[in-house]
Amino acid sequence: MIDVPAISVQRTATIRDALLKLDQAAFGMLLVLEPDGTFERTVTDGDIRRLLLQGCGMDDSLKRLPKIKSFVLEDGYTQESALALMNKCVINHLPVIDAQRRVIKVLDRKELDEKILLSTPHMGSWEREFVDEAFKTNWIAPLGPNVDAFEREVAEYVGIDHAAALTSGTAAIHLALIMLGVRAGDTVFCSSLTFAASANPIAYQGAEPVFIDSEPESWNMSPVALENAFQYAIANGKKPKAVIVVNLYGQSADIDSIADICKRYDVPIVEDAAESLGARYKGKASGSFGVMGVYSFNGNKIITTSGGGMLVSDNEEFIRQARFLSTQARDPALHYEHTQIGYNYRMSNILAGVGRGQIRVLNERVASRRRVNERYREGLLGCEQLTWMPEPEWSYSTHWLTACTVTSTKSGLNSLDIIKKLAGDHIEARPVWKPMHMQPVFRQCRSFNHGDHSVSQTLFEDGICLPSGSNMTDAQQDRIIDAIKKIVAES
């Protein structure tokens, strides 16, 4: 932030004073104020140079500066309108004045240009060492020591016996379904409130997804809706082959209640923990509850390999099979022999090196994201229209994304208005996932609600995800908090 008094002068100041101030502020511009403190015009290095060339001395005052009308912004501007004016006038700084023409602040193009994104990669200090090691040993391909080590390290972190490093979380879900025997004509239950990658692999297998609503307590799979879905399935003689339980935005689903139901119907759980690596349910790692668990290292996730995923299981056979299927299903033979359809889903040794660096800072990343969540809640305490995604007492969420819902204000301000206004301030906020049962591509699929209406639909309609990166600075977050306060206050 630019210190306004440090760059303010009056016309009584000498050229020497003005040059000293310009020199100290190292900003290239001063504000000329009227005797009553209101804004008159700006003055630059160039303006002073011209005064000197006109014959003024160092001890002459600024009285001979011509009267001009400098460009200013009035309070209530957006980042976009400010940038547009700067571009139009080809300037890099703009004073912002209040109704009394007093300068509140001066905008700097460098700060305005900065976009705050939802969740960006955050590298630590180890990644390059592991990647360099791969280069030094020319272990670029095939599979190698980084892959083996990364699998061990993730398995150890989450307390699961075995892990297979893959090209993506989606690939991990796909292989899990293949190994559970999901094929054309089968059904698979899946959380509705999720990213499409949770459900797409069901379709890859030619099977039918059945979507299960959220419960309000955790925003994750509703045990009530799940029970209803099972009863319908049994009554119609078609038990699902698997249940994909998604852990949303870094928070585990209520796994015990869900697992009880699945156990009763004897159907295996695949835990989609793509968004919840580092989270815990009743003290145990998220992703470790199903017969198989899935993590993602996509660029926006809490740790990233730029793209990648991991399938984990206590069942060694599943993981052995996943490694086999993900490397084109090559049978042991000197020539190339295949008895099954295979896939090219294995993680490279280079990317696994990035992952090894990232897993070392995972706990720090979790702490940072939790802190971001805490700062939002504190900073926006007065905004009663916002209701934060709850964190039940059994949950230790990573708050991969901080999410809230907006109760429409009297003036009708809703979540989309806030998202659009934040975009005007170069802040990327997003709606909550659009539930799968509302997606055109899945419109023919059956879905089950938590109660008499769809909780996930309401969360989508009212929900916002705020920028939550572990590398976001306090100043950036304060900018977001101020912007939201302003939007809500003006509504």
Ligand X SMILES: *Cc1c(COP(=O)(O)O)cnc(C)c1O
Count residues contacting ligand X (CB under 6 A)?
A: 14
Nearer to ligand X, 48 or 199 (CB): 199
Instruction: Find the shortest distance in angstroms from Cβ 172 to ligand X.
Output: 8
Among 121, 144, 169, 435, binds ligand X (CB under 6 A): 169
Of the candidate spans 45-53, 165-173, 375-383, 471-479, the one that interacts with ligand X by CB under 6 A turns out to be: 165-173
Q: At what angle are helices 223-235 and 255-264 packed, to 10 degrees?
A: 10
Of the candidate spans 119-127, 195-203, 250-258, 468-476, the one that interacts with ligand X by CB under 6 A turns out to be: 195-203
Q: What's the CA gap between 419 and 429, in Å, rounded?
A: 6
Interaction between residue 275 and ligand X (CB under 6 A):
yes
Instruction: Find the shortest distance in angstroms from Cβ 175 to ligand X.
Output: 12
- Unique residue bearing structure tokens 């923990």: 273
Q: Compute how many other C-beta atoms are within 10 angstroms of the C-beta atom of residue 118.
A: 16
Nearer to ligand X, 95 or 169 (CB): 169
Interaction between residue 250 and ligand X (CB under 6 A):
no
Q: What's the CA gap between 403 and 467, in Å, rounded?
A: 9
Among 251, 298, 305, 321, binds ligand X (CB under 6 A): 298
Nearer to ligand X, 274 or 455 (CB): 274
Q: Under rule CB under 6 A, which residues in 343-382 are in contact with ligand X? A: none
Interaction between residue 271 and ligand X (CB under 6 A):
no
Nearer to ligand X, 37 or 299 (CB): 299
CA 262, 265, 266, 272 dihedral sign is negative
Among 246, 361, 419, 464, binds ligand X (CB under 6 A): 246
| Among candidate residues 103, 111, 105, 112, the one with its CA nearest the CA of residue 34 | 103
DSSP string over 273-309: -TT-TT-EETTEETT-SSSEEEEE--TTSSS-SSS-E
Nearer to ligand X, 246 or 480 (CB): 246
Q: Compute how many other C-beta atoms are within 10 angstroms of the C-beta atom of residue 480.
A: 23
Q: Under rule CB under 6 A, which residues in 408-447 are in contact with ligand X? A: none
Q: How far is CA 108 from CA 27, 60, 91, 93, 111, in A?
A: 10, 30, 10, 5, 6
Interaction between residue 168 and ligand X (CB under 6 A):
yes
Instruction: Find the shortest distance in angstroms from Cβ 298 to ligand X.
Output: 4
Site string for ligand X, 300-339 (x = CB under 6 A): ---------x------------------------------
Q: Describe the chain by its helix, strand, coil percentages, rounded to 5.
A: 40, 20, 40
Interaction between residue 272 and ligand X (CB under 6 A):
yes
Interaction between residue 198 and ligand X (CB under 6 A):
yes
Residue 330 is given by DSSP the state -
Q: Which residue has the CB atom at the shortest distance from ligand X?
A: 169
Instruction: Find the shortest distance in angstroms from Cβ 295 to ligand X.
Output: 8
Beta strands 292-296 and 309-313, pairing class: antiparallel
Among 42, 170, 395, 457, binds ligand X (CB under 6 A): 170
Instruction: Find the shortest distance in angstroms from Cβ 456 to ligand X.
Output: 13
Task: Return the structure tokens found at 214.
Answer: 């959220």
Of the candidate spans 146-154, 272-280, 472-480, 481-489, the one that interacts with ligand X by CB under 6 A turns out to be: 272-280
Of the candidate spans 48-56, 80-88, 113-121, 194-202, the one that interacts with ligand X by CB under 6 A turns out to be: 194-202
- Does residue 242 contact residue 258 with C-beta atoms inside 8 Å? no
Nearer to ligand X, 95 or 463 (CB): 463
Task: Return the structure tokens found at 68.
Answer: 């001009």
Task: Return the structure tokens found at 446.
Answer: 């059956």
Burial class of residue 55, CB neighbours in 10 A (0-12, 13-18, 19+): exposed
Interaction between residue 251 and ligand X (CB under 6 A):
no
Among 221, 274, 386, 436, binds ligand X (CB under 6 A): 274
Among 32, 165, 190, 197, binds ligand X (CB under 6 A): 197
Nearer to ligand X, 96 or 351 (CB): 351
Q: Does a cis peptide bond (omega within 30 degrees of 0) precede residue 142?
A: yes
Phi, psi of 416 (to 5 degrees): -65, -40
Task: Return the structure tokens found at 122.
Answer: 């955050």
Among 42, 79, 187, 194, binds ligand X (CB under 6 A): 194
Of the candidate spans 18-26, 135-143, 204-212, 268-276, the one that interacts with ligand X by CB under 6 A turns out to be: 268-276
| Among candidate residues 176, 290, 249, the one with its CA nearest the CA of residue 402 | 249
Of the candidate spans 270-278, 314-322, 343-351, 444-452, the one that interacts with ligand X by CB under 6 A turns out to be: 270-278
Nearer to ligand X, 27 or 249 (CB): 249
Q: What's the CA gap between 8 and 20, in Å, rounded?
A: 12
Q: What's the CA gap between 147 and 438, in Å, rounded?
A: 38
Residues whose CB is less than 8 angstroms from the CB of residue 472 and which lie 6 or more positions away in sequence, other chains included: 116, 372
Strand, coil or helix: 344: strand
Of the candidate spans 162-170, 212-220, 221-229, 435-443, the one that interacts with ligand X by CB under 6 A turns out to be: 162-170
Beta strands 73-74 and 93-97, pairing class: parallel
Among 296, 368, 385, 402, binds ligand X (CB under 6 A): 296
Give residues in contact with ligand X (CB under 6 A).
168-170, 194-195, 197-198, 246, 272, 274-275, 296, 298, 309
